[in-house]
Structure 1
Amino acid sequence: MLGDIAPEQLGLTLGHDHIFAAPPSDVADTDLRINDEVASIAEMQAFAAVGGSAMIEMTTVDYGRDTSALQRISRATGVHLIAATGFNKGKFADRLTEGRSVEAIASWMIAEVLDGVQPFSSDQPVWEASNAKAGVIKASSSLNALSRNERKVFDVAIQAHHVTGAPISTHTEKGTWALEQIGLLLEGGVSPARVLIGHLDLKPDLAYLLEVASTGVYLGLDQFAKTKYLPDETRVYLVAKLVEAGYGRQILIGGDLARRSYWKYYGDPFGSTFIPLRIPEMLAQAGLTAAQINDILVQNPRSFLAFCTDQPE
């Protein structure tokens, strides 16, 4: 959000999270409204104080992305925020993507990466160069399926990736349809090394995760601290097994903390500090070396976010 940086400037990086979002009015649950800048700054200050360096901020325009706020939060805290262009699942995105062509949406998405982030509008936008650019492209599917408009977004994401070099990060609903997402992206000529499949720990089937990993994509295990879905010990076990199978350079982790109640600022014991404070020790106890832990927390995000097409060695 503060301009282009070298990958080496990123330290511990969360692979999928949210620090500011104002969801549409039909989202009635107020716990999902994380749109208080004071709270967001305090949360990121706490993250930075325990070694947090960066966050891939996956809030999209259909879910209340505010890049001006993200810029201010990043500037106030020193935490690099990498914003997403693209869209959430059709439940939120259809109201924007319905009736608009691949070409029209692609023009906006490409400009967000190359020229600077802009509101998504049906009017012809006037692009103004800005240091605040999107650093990842987001495409999403629904539960076990891909709708017509969601397919359109994948087509746009492929086109925008080829023009910009930006990596693609996806939303899967409860970890489903990952292999089908990968099939679409690879058929479109996207290198698996430029793809991060999200929310895979919501489908904690090791055989399934190994099949996803075998395609060469990055795996997003990004629900850490959410014990209502899965104990973190199980997530760590899955990470350890993936590393044991040779896929340690393909894992990114995060918290996807899209509710106030998940945040330290609003009373959670850890909030966004949970991964820096707890997960390295848990991974070490599971048998990972310091170098393997550093891959997951630092090196893998650096490689994924770099605007290149080379597979990491």
Structure 2
Amino acid sequence: MDAAPGMVYSVMGPLVPQGLGTIDGHTHVWIEAVGAQDANAPVLTALPEIIAEVMAYHAAGGTAIVDCQPGGCGRDGRRLLEISERAHVAIIAATGFHLRRYYPPYAPVFHSSADDARQQFIDELTHTLAENAGSPTPVRAGFIKIACEATLAASPRHLIEAAVQAAVATDAAIEVHTERGAEAAAIMRFMLDKGLPAGKLILCHMDKRPDVALHRELAQAGVALEYDTFFRPKYGDVVWPLIEQMLAAGHEDALVLATDMADSKLLLTSAGGPGAAALLTQVIPRLNDMGVPAATVRKLTGQNIARRLARG
């Protein structure tokens, strides 16, 4: 199946990036229980409530969601397609891999060779997600999600290389889970040295390490920095000044804002959380109150991630 040039691939098909509006650049809408090694691994399977939340996101003006759960640790492309169709929101699914603790004790991806992993990622980006194989409607991954441990040395570097090779082969972007921004510069250098274009790299959870000098260095190298702690009290007083400083330094094209709601207590208003629409109902209004120009708000909450996700 050939890729259309310059398109963002959602579970419902390719989309023109210029036509996308507000995008939550990193969150989760469905996570199956998989018998993960981490007893506290998140599970999101309350289908009616999840659909209601994504519908609320749409009603507030949201057009797309980047779902960051890779295969094998809770992703279900069939559910993502159902939620997307019923809520009228484009969901962009991930191939790749997460932290080991979110998988069962034996997880095939961590026993794969680099070549096998690369081909698996390419297949999901160009054909269909594994769980949708055999379906009359192919559901492609729209990007690669990978996860680094607290150190690069402890991370599965052969899988990181496989992800880079798959990204280069398909023009896909890679979102990287960092452990609170740990070793972000080393991760960037490793991946760029392996051939990944800087414009295809998004380093996630970077507001948990609010080192402005580091963030400026990364942004100047051309990578994107994803911020998502808006609804976590531990970091709430950090992210807003960080945004102000990065914008003042001229890095409005490098920031991707998101909510990372891998928890029913965040995603579901019925559970007391801010809900899936909070990017639109709380984050964007505060940016407006800060005096951030509307054109810049559109970059931070949609255009920057759409440009990086576009393939071809």
TM-score higher than 0.5 here?
yes
Moved more, 161-170 or 263-272: 263-272
CA 1:64–1:2: 2 relative to 1, 3 Å: same
CA deviation map 1:71-119 (0-9, x unaligned): 0000000111000000002333572233321111111110101111114
Q: Which amino acid aligns with 1:98?
A: F
Choose which of 33, 36, 40 in structure 2 pairs with 1:29: 40
Could you say which residue in structure 2 is the equivalent of 1:303? Answer: 307
CA 1:128–1:180: 2 relative to 1, 3 Å: farther
5+ residue gaps, structure 2, are 1-10
* 1: CA distance, partners of 2:138 / 2:255: 29
Deviation at 1:275, TM superposition (A): 1.4
> Counterpart of 2:15 in 1: which secondary structure?
coil
> Counterpart of 2:256 in 1: which secondary structure?
strand
Could you say which residue in structure 2 is the equivalent of 1:247? Answer: 251
CA deviation map 1:34-53 (0-9, x unaligned): 01221210110111111111
Q: Which amino acid aligns with 2:170?
A: T
Q: Which amino acid aligns with 2:205?
A: H
Q: Which amino acid aligns with 1:14?
A: D
Matched, 1:190 2:196: yes
Matched, 1:9 2:3: no
Higher relative contact order (CA 8 A, sep 6+): 2
Q: Which amino acid aligns with 1:290?
A: A
Count how many residue pairs are aligned between Structure 1 and Structure 2.
Answer: 299
RMSD (Å), alpha carbons: 2.0
> Counterpart of 1:249 in 2: which secondary structure?
coil
5+ residue gaps, structure 1, are 121-125, 309-313
Choose which of 82, 89, 113 in structure 1 pairs with 2:92: 82
Matched, 1:44 2:54: yes
CA 1:115–1:8: 2 relative to 1, 3 Å: same
Deviation at 1:28, TM superposition (A): 2.9
> Counterpart of 1:144 in 2: which secondary structure?
coil
CA 1:171–1:21: 2 relative to 1, 3 Å: same
- Aligned partners of 2:24 and 2:64 also within 8 Å: yes
CA 1:176–1:258: 2 relative to 1, 3 Å: same
* 2: CA distance, partners of 1:221 / 1:129: 37
Could you say which residue in structure 1 is the equivalent of 2:210? Answer: 204
Deviation at 1:295, TM superposition (A): 1.0
* 2: CA distance, partners of 1:36 / 1:138: 24
Matched, 1:177 2:187: no
CA 1:28–1:99: 2 relative to 1, 3 Å: closer
Work out the percentage of aligned pairs sharing the same amino acid. Answer: 25
TM-score normalized by the length of structure 1: 0.89
- Aligned partners of 1:138 and 1:168 also within 8 Å: yes
Choose which of 135, 140, 154 in structure 1 pairs with 2:142: 135
Could you say which residue in structure 2 is the equivalent of 1:230? Answer: 235
CA 1:130–1:162: 2 relative to 1, 3 Å: farther
Query: Aligned runs of 1:266-277 on 2, under 5 Å?
Result: 266-268=270-272, 270-277=274-281
TM-score normalized by the length of structure 2: 0.90
CA 1:92–1:28: 2 relative to 1, 3 Å: closer
CA 1:145–1:188: 2 relative to 1, 3 Å: closer
- Aligned partners of 1:116 and 1:127 also within 8 Å: no
CA deviation map 1:244-290 (0-9, x unaligned): 11110111111110111112343325211221012222223333111
